[in-house]
Amino acid sequence: MAEFSFNCPFCNIELSIDESGIGQEIECPGCKEVLIIPVPGAGGTAEAEEESVPSIPQGTFPEAKIIKNASMSLNIAAKTVKKLRVKSFRHHEHVKDGKDIFDDAVSSFLAQHPEDDIISITGIQYTHNLKQKDAEGKETTTPVTEYGVLVEYKA
């Protein structure tokens, strides 16, 4: 009977065995892993052939061009990283000369940013002190509860 040798895939020790052991399980003496004895000339030879003989492309190919400013795309990619931002709209800040422009201000802001960049729009309620003059001309402050909007977005 012919004898052949192979390497253990776990510890790479070289093992020799005769043909009667093909396909049987044995314990590797080096690492104690259970191995199935490979068929001589099979298993791993296809991989070895692929690695040893690289395929060479055939045909005509366009002329190679040197890329200038290759790092330019990296700079552009770095600039496109958007940070998380927050914008608050408080109703009392958008009332001018008795005219309520709160909705227009929020709509204008949202129109300036793509929908994908808007993370959330949350209604808020807050209290601020409204300064007024009474009949005697004294300045008084009155707490007033108002509403607003908090917009989280990427920019």
- Could you give the C-alpha distances from 148 to 22, 31, 121, 133, in angstroms and in order? 80, 70, 10, 25
What ranges do the domains of the chain cover? Answer: 3-52, 82-154
How much is the pLDDT for 147?
A: 96
- Of 8-22, 73-87, 112-126, the poorest mean pLDDT is in 73-87
Confidence check: pLDDT of 43 > 60: no
Q: Residue 121 CB: number of other CB atoms within 10 A?
A: 13
Residues 60 and 74: their CA atoms lie apart, in Å, by: 31
What is the CATH T-level fold of the domain 3-52, as seen in this structure? Answer: Rubrerythrin, domain 2 (2.20.28)
The total of other beta-carbon atoms located within 10 Å of residue 136's CB is: 6
Q: What is the mean pLDDT of the chain?
A: 82
pLDDT digits (tens, 9 = 90+) for 133-149: 888 989 999 999 999 99
